[in-house]
Chain A
Amino acid sequence: MHKGKFLVKRLIYIVFVFFIISILMFGIYKSLPGDPVRMMMGDNVKPEVWQQQYDTIKESLGLDKPIPVQYVRWMGNMLRGDFGYSTEYRRPVKEVIGVPMRNTVTLNLVSMFIVFIIAVPLGIAQAVKKNGVFDKIVQVVTIVGYSVPSFVIALLAIYVFAIRFPIFPISGVKTAGFTGTGMEAFLDSAKHMVLPVLVLSVGGIGSIARYVRASMIEALRMDYIKTARAKGLKEKVVIYVHAFRNALIPIVTVTTVWLISLFGGSIVIESIFLWDGLGKMMITGLNQRDFSVVLAMQMFYVILSLAGNVLMDIAYTLVDPRVRLED
């Protein structure tokens, strides 16, 4: 099968998966507590016109139609970015979602960057001197890193860096009432980001480093490495060009899965550090019973997850010439 055809097939398939998950989401939407019509109506309706007005709103919302029609309508709204009306913010969800989304994406991308510049060299160094003292120590550290739950690390980080040695602020995205611009504003938000990023990175470094190590060892055992060494290539070239490029294939896969779970996991971290992001918004939405917001968040995570899958397929096809396309 041709690669292009394979990708098209995967894309069609992803759309299919999205369809199935959207039905599930619609199911969740329908099972949410509370009557949307009553929410729209408010309390100041005279009893005599109540039923009539109720029916009018019901009709205008399309809730009198059969379920499949309702689904199509709901899905259409979702795809157009109309996520409904937030009862907590008293504004359409679309308007309140922008800043948190930017905050969450920033937080996660910075964490991802940190994880990579630490975990990849660490894993390679371990693999090159495998079973040495350094390797053993780092192995123990990484197993601790990915075993300890992120919120425990968060509590510890708060204790050490915000209470014992008050270097970094405990919570928030920026200092309250802060008015500086340019460099000052950047430094202020960078300072607020240190602790959440630190916490999100620890677990990631643990698992990615273990992964890099394993696939590098695998790659270093291959015959082409022996050939490269026999050719008299410098060890650095052998490791970073020949071995690492081949080790990249599994790393790419793993990274995407990890990235998706990173976004999910940041829900917990955001709620600890009161980071004004999607995760915190979702939790407050659930606690305040503001379900339009929650569904929009959910949609974001679903699309992120599916996009991750598509990216993984593409990366996979591009990086690995041996990829089995019939699968």
Chain B
Amino acid sequence: MAEKNMKKRRKSTVGTATKKMFLGGAMTEEQEEVLTPIQMVFRSFIQDKVAMAGVIGFVFIFLCCIIIPFFMPVDMYFQDVTQANVAPGFGMLEVPKSLQGNAKQISIGSTFSVGIDEEGNVYEWGSFPTDKLKKLPADMGKLTQVSAGLNHIVALTEDGEVVTWGNDRMGLGSIPMELRMGANVKEVYAGYQISLALTEDGELYNWGNTYLIDLRFPEGVQGNIEEFAANTDIVMVRTKDGKVAALTGKTNAYTTIPEEIQGHVVDIAVSDESAVAVTDDGKIHTWGNNIKGTQNFPEEIQGQVASIEGGRFHYVAVLKDGSLVSWGDDTFGQTKVPQVDGEIRQLTSGYYGNYIITESGDVESWGLDGYLMGTDDFGRDIFRRLLKGGRMTMTVGAIAVIISTIIGVVIGGISGYKGGKIDNLLMRLTEIVNSMPFLPFAIILSAIIGNKISETQRIIMIMVILGLLSWTGLARLVRGSVLAEREQEFVTAAKALGVKEAGIIFRHILPNVITVIIVNATLSFATCMLTESSLSFIGFGVSEPNATWGNMLNGARSATVIEQYWWRWVYPAVILAISVISINCIGDGLRDAVDPKSKER
């Protein structure tokens, strides 16, 4: 902000006569080449290496922000705790080579996966939320089943013993006594701060954070459980007689189980806020809330479904002919099922990824492989928000500049051309606006108006505030230039020819001051982007869930974030800095090109 004001201030103090010399002088010098002033400016601009680097940098960022979101859609309201603070990088679905060809079972956790081979050895891969996951318990022997959760793993050994590692807080480390006494465990499950184990006699045991998921067994369910499915809110079970029950004492989306399927269910699965059951006639029944299309299954598969698996926002069904069908959210390609030849031995879906193990023990995977720039504390993909944020930051900056340029040109133009009392009045107005301390006024206006209006109105308000407070410098510059131009012969000639006043201003004078306007607009675009970012950074600009580069940094103000989750501030900071530097380079280059005298410097 300071820099912009300085430039303007200086130019206006050096005086209009000097400026006339700059512009006028340049044109006469090059007359032999017969170039229009614009061509000349263009020619000397493209020879300026720094400015061209700026152009390339800015155009690259601009195009990325405009084009990539079409291929990588992002839901601004989307949040997922299970994906919070994931480090940048890929390879979440990269199955270790030694597991290929002899995989026995695989389980997918929040951002990592765990698998066992035919010999019962454990393999872990992906991005680990805690280092404890890498500390496998000593001498646990061969494993027969593993399950990965948010940040812990539960496994079943050959001897029927339950072991767990990874996060051991919230009681996740304390396996219930009955299980340790040698209950006949059939299946184990690790979820969101909860672990489950199902015995052969249909008893379901749970341990972990019991406040988060409070299991309530309806009558006749405990001791009769055949299969269970769980997500972050609920555990659903299928009993041995084909009935479905939600293990909760409350009434919610999961408890609206259709009556007609009770007694016929052969498989169940849950995703976020919805559940699916497959009945013995191969049909699918869903209930709950339809989020991200989790209930929009293709009608033609009805009657052919064999089994089903669910992720956070998608389902994968295995049909009776062995082929796979998937529906729901496809943000990370979770529903892009591959063509499989041969029998599928096991299908695992969970969170945002899927694995299949074929008859030969080979593993194929699809879905979320990782985040290019990691995720923030709400589990939102930083890369996608960065692109959206770039769009927003640039839009706000551009519109603010357009507003301020229009006001500046109109006021400066009228003031310079009319002169006298009008000039005096308008210049006093300019000085009043100029005397307002910019950032404090912007903050207070945004705070007072901002809380009464909607998100979109708030964004518009930011643009208008920026525009209304930053036109003064340009108005002075334009006034100075117009003052110089209006005494030129061509204006007198136009007047003598009877050209109307508006015509003289816009057709004859304005083209001669357009270069000044363009240079100024470029530089104030950078300033407006900076101001918007500063405002959003301290929480008085564009607010969540809309992203801008400034408010993405807002979440990164604590020392913990700066130290441990560096990707949350480094990427927005770097891209914001590069953009502003590029625009300032372009602006400086343009000014040098327009004003040959400054190039000599």
Contact = CB atoms under 8 A, between A and B. Distances in A.
A286 B431 contact: no
B581 A144 contact: yes
Contact of A254 (B9, B443, B566): B9
A213 B10 CA distance: 13
A267 B6 contact: no
Interface stretch (A40-48, A89-97, A154-162, A183-191): A154-162
Contact of B1 (A159, A261, A294): A261
B596 to A, nearest CB: 14
A286 B443 contact: yes
Given A146-B584, A264-B1, A302-B437, A254 B10 contact: yes
Interface string B552-590: 010011010011001001000100110011011100100
Contacts of B588: 143
A130 B534 CA distance: 34
A155 B553 contact: yes
Contact of B443 (A257, A267, A302): A267
A253 B13 contact: yes
B439 interface: yes
A279 B432 CA distance: 23
A286 B441 CA distance: 12
Chain A CB within 10 A, most for which of B444, B537, B573: B444
B59 interface: no
A283 interface: yes
A21 interface: yes
B2 interface: yes
Interface in B1-26: 1-3, 5-6, 9-10, 13-15
Interface in A269-305: 271-272, 282-283, 286-287, 294, 297-298, 301-302, 304-305
B340 interface: no
A159 B580 contact: no
Interface string A5-26: 0000000010011001100100
Contacts of A214: 598, 601
Interface stretch (A79-87, A203-211, A226-234, A238-246): A203-211
A203 B447 CA distance: 26
Contacts of B451: 33
B580 A158 contact: no
Contact of A302 (B5, B436, B598, B601): B436
Interface in B510-549: 526, 530, 533-534, 537-540
B435 interface: yes
A305 B538 contact: no
A301 B440 contact: yes
A129 B225 CA distance: 85
Contact of A149 (B431, B533, B563, B583): B533
Nearest to A127: B601
B601 A155 contact: no
A17 B601 contact: no
A268 B533 CA distance: 11
Contacts, number: 159
A263 interface: yes
A257 B9 contact: yes
Given A149-B533, A152-B553, A21 B601 contact: no
Nearest to B581: A147
Contacts of A20: 432
Contacts of A181: none
A286 B440 contact: no
B448 interface: yes
A197 interface: no
Contacts of B585: 143
Contacts of B165: none
A217 interface: yes
A286 B5 contact: no
A261 B580 contact: no
A237 interface: no
A190 to B, nearest CB: 21
Given A32-B448, A155-B562, A261-B1, A21 B435 contact: yes
Given A146-B3, A254-B6, A257-B6, A152 B443 contact: no
Interface string A209-226: 011011101000000000
B439 A158 contact: no
A148 B448 contact: no
A28 interface: yes
3 pairs of A and B residues whose beta carbons are closest in the complex? A301-B437, A264-B439, A261-B2
22 contacts: A20-B432, A130-B601, A147-B526, A147-B530, A147-B577, A149-B533, A149-B537, A156-B573, A159-B566, A203-B2, A204-B2, A206-B3, A207-B3, A253-B9, A254-B6, A258-B6, A264-B440, A272-B557, A282-B443, A297-B440, A302-B436, A309-B431
Given A253-B6, A258-B5, 14 more contacts: A16-B428, A31-B448, A33-B448, A140-B50, A143-B588, A149-B534, A155-B553, A159-B566, A250-B13, A253-B13, A261-B1, A272-B557, A283-B443, A294-B444
